[in-house]
């Protein structure tokens, strides 16, 4: 009798309820991952822009961009060659980085022909929202109506949403991403970032991730 209710039926164990909740959450999460994949393949067209904003990623121990950041910078260079304009480079110094990402990015761009006076540097931002907020401050008064955000392909849609939150008209140029495990990891993490973004939109609060607090603005890549 101890395992039955008053009508003689067994009560559902707590673990069944927890399992149902877990499966529901997992299904929802996988749906967000699917959205990330879909969005990166359905980006809005690139329109005329007055500035390019390059989002940071990991700097290697020797002080050079890792491959992910190099691909972003190379995409930004191509965009700048087509439309010479301001380039804003964003990224603070992570605990395992020898220099701020923004400074390393400026050095790379200058070495590839971009005049120093056309590069605006943000070395204070630790996440995408701060990247774009600081970029907006650096571009204030420079008569820029639309920016072109350059970042990894899966990251572009959320970066554009955040750019609009900061008052930008924005388009985006995707850079390639590493395959294999990194592809899975980045899409999985980006899904979590979208959930965090929606929570911030609903609550009006801003939440910091452990990765951002410990590792700086960029992605942890080889």
Residue 117 DSSP code = G
Cβ atoms within 10 Å of 92's Cβ, excluding its own:
23
Domain 51-215, classified CATH 1.10.3720.10, yes or no: no
pLDDT of residue 201: 83
**Helical (H) or strand (E) element with 53:** strand 51-55
Cβ atoms within 10 Å of 199's Cβ, excluding its own:
12
Extract the tokens encoding 155: 């990251």
pLDDT of residue 222: 31
pLDDT of residue 47: 87
**What ranges do the domains of the chain cover?**
51-215
pLDDT of residue 10: 59
Look up the pTM and report it.
0.83
**Helical (H) or strand (E) element with 120:** strand 119-122
pLDDT of residue 186: 86
Concatenating the DSSP letter of every residue in 127-150 gives: SHHHHHHHHHHHHTTS---EEEEE
pLDDT per residue of the chain (222 residues) written in tens, 0 to 9: 444 545 555 566 788 888 888 889 889 989 988 888 899 888 888 889 999 999 999 999 999 999 999 999 999 999 999 999 999 999 999 888 999 999 999 999 999 999 999 999 999 999 999 999 999 999 998 989 899 999 999 999 999 999 999 889 999 999 998 888 888 888 999 999 999 989 888 887 666 654 444 344 444 433
Which residues make beta-bridge pairs with 175? 152
């Amino acid at each position: 009798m101890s395992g039955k209710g008053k009508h003689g039926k067994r009560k559902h164990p707590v673990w069944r309820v927890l399992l149902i909740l877990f499966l529901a959450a997992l299904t929802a999460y996988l749906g967000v991952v699917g959205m990330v994949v879909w969005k990166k393949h359905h980006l809005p067209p690139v329109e005329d822009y007055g500035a390019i904003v390059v989002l940071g990623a990991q700097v290697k121990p020797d002080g050079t961009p890792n491959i992910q950041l190099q691909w972003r910078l190379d995409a930004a260079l191509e965009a700048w060659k087509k439309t010479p304009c301001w380039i804003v480079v964003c990224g603070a110094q992570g605990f395992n980085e020898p220099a701020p990402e923004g400074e390393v990015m400026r050095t790379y761009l200058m070495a590839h022909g971009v005049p120093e006076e056309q590069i605006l540097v943000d070395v204070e931002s630790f996440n995408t929202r701060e990247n774009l907020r600081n970029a907006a401050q650096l571009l204030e008064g420079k008569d820029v109506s639309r920016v072109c955000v350059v970042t990894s392909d899966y990251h572009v849609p959320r970066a554009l949403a955040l750019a609009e939150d900061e008052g930008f008209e924005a388009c985006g140029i995707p850079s390639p991403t590493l395959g294999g495990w990194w592809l899975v990891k980045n899409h999985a993490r980006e899904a979590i970032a979208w959930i965090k973004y929606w929570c911030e939109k609903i609550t009006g609060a801003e939440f910091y991730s452990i990765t951002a607090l410990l590792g700086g603005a960029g992605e942890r890549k080889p």
